Amino acid sequence: MTDTLNLTQHGIIVLLVDDQPIIGEAVRRMLSAEKDIEFHHCSDPTSAIQTANRISPTVILQDLVMPEMDGLRLVRYFRANSSTRHVPLIVLSTKEEASTKAESFSLGANDYLVKLPDKLELIARIRYHSEGYIHLLERNEAFDELLKSRKQLEIRNRFIRKIFGRYLSDDVVDSILESPEGLKLGGEKRKVTILMSDLRGFSNISEQMPAEDVVSIINIYLEKMTEIILKYQGTIDEFIGDAILVIFGAPMLRDDDAVRAMACAMEMQLAMTEVNAKNQEKGYPIIAQGIGINTGEVVVGNIGSEKRSKYGVVGRNVNLASRIESYTVGGQVLISESTMTACGTILRLNGQMEVMPKGVDKPIMIYDIGGVGGEYNLFLPKKIRSLRTLFHPIPVQFRILEGKYPGKSLYSGKIIRLGDGEADIESDQNCSVLTNIVLTVISEKKEFSESAYAKVMASSANSVFNMRFTSVPPEMEAFLKECLT
């Protein structure tokens, strides 16, 4: 029926198949006064199908008695032909025979007239069958258009999912596709859980490597982290270099947003083993991430202008998640008290500390989390401290970081105990917990052109503080390992 749909203009087109010219002329005269009826006569039954395919009739009048072909066979041919299969067919016969009528109807004829029929009756039947067929054409044509539109919409949606699915979670893409208001600017206040992750000391690493290697390391990391985040139904708000900002609770709000964020953080940290295995295969350095999580009210929605916008969150609780993350060392997950409360008793607590982040009025408590129980049962390996006292302490010089930049004052000290990724330093300059420092090893045997970065994890009254390295240049790392042998 598709071919007919493409050819017809939905006017009444009559095709008469009869080998007698006198019958053709008689029917033509009957219909000549009907301005909306287009008449065609085919006297050769063998070419009737070709004629019908060419003119796309809305009704066919067919004689049953023809010299070259039995009329009932022609009925079969019309019904077997895709272009005429549904066209109304009126059989014309000189006799009123019940058996012939029955056989005609069984083969697919729609009507039966004894010729020559009365003019008014013929016109009435032609109009009746044509109008029904035209209505069917229009209905099917509309249906075809609907199918075509749906197919185009599916192609468009697949394209959007393929392109934007690389940057947005399925929830955000679904919101854009399913709601006519999906891209409307504006937002609402909502309580969500915000996860912020960052590679510790990566800026220093990236400065020493070719740009293509830096991008490759980030892509290896982000590919795995994205897979995990989407698994836990997090919405990736944005990638900020090597940092990831994730929302749990928008656009879909769920009762377990905080717990899923915690489980996501645990799996992200556990997956760093796989990430670093790929890095080492390519000759890249080992990297470590810190994760900070906070729960609170934010403004969430489409932010920007009509020409460029993004789905995201704004508010002090977003900033607080970032501040909490800044206190982390590699492999650590720190959370706010609000997230701790939202998760309940299923978290494994490694420790807690009071901090005074920038932008808050009073100190807050943050918690070092080692795992989440319940249905997730994900736990980070417990770090076993194994510091070895050095027979020959290692002299160092260090500066305290003020934001991202080293301060002007240079302090001296010495590493008196050394372990895997950490050290105890004795110095006249006591450093408070969570202070970030940049230090250089002073060695008579070797001069180091690059400095290491570390975070103070504990401080004592006897001018000794414990620090965790966040970034160590390869040459210095090899030297420190030699000192342990």
Measured CA to CA in angstroms, residue 339 lies from 227, 252, 269, 321, 427 at distances of: 23, 18, 18, 10, 37
pLDDT in tens, 156-177: 666 556 655 555 556 666 665 6
Q: List pLDDT tens digits, range 205-214.
A: 787 888 899 9
Per-residue pLDDT, 171: 62
The type of residue at 3 is: D
- Provide Rg for the chain, Cα atoms: 41
Residue 178, H or E segment:
helix 170-178
| pTM listed for this prediction | 0.64
- Report the largest interatomic distance among the alpha carbons of the chain, rounded to a whole angstrom: 125
Residue 183 has what pLDDT? 45
| Residue that is written with structure tokens 């918690």 in the block | 367
CA neighbor of 454 nearest in space, from 482, 477, 428, 475: 477
Tokens 């808050």, residue? 360
DSSP 271: T
What's residue 208's pLDDT?
80
Q: Return the half-sphere exposure (C-beta side, CA atoms, 13 A cut-off) of residue 287.
A: 32
Using CA atoms, how far residue 47 sits from 25, 41, 43, 68, in Å, is: 19, 11, 9, 11
Question: Would you state the pLDDT for residue 390?
Answer: 93
Cβ atoms of 115 and 63 within 8 Å: the answer is yes
pLDDT for position 209: 86
Backbone angles phi, psi at 405, to 5 degrees: -120, 145
Distance CA 204, CA 449 (A): 13
Per-residue three-class SS string for 25-59: HHHHHHHCCCCCEEEEEECCHHHHHHHHHHHCCCE
Name all domains of the chain by residue range, CATH numbers in brackets: 2-139 (3.40.50.2300), 192-379 (3.30.70.1230), 388-484 (2.40.10.220)
CA distance 23 to 191: 84
Residues of the chain with pLDDT under 70: 1-10, 139-147, 149-150, 153-187, 304-311
Q: What confidence score (pLDDT) does residue 177 get? A: 61
- Measure the CA–CA gap between 110 and 327, rounded to whole angstroms: 84
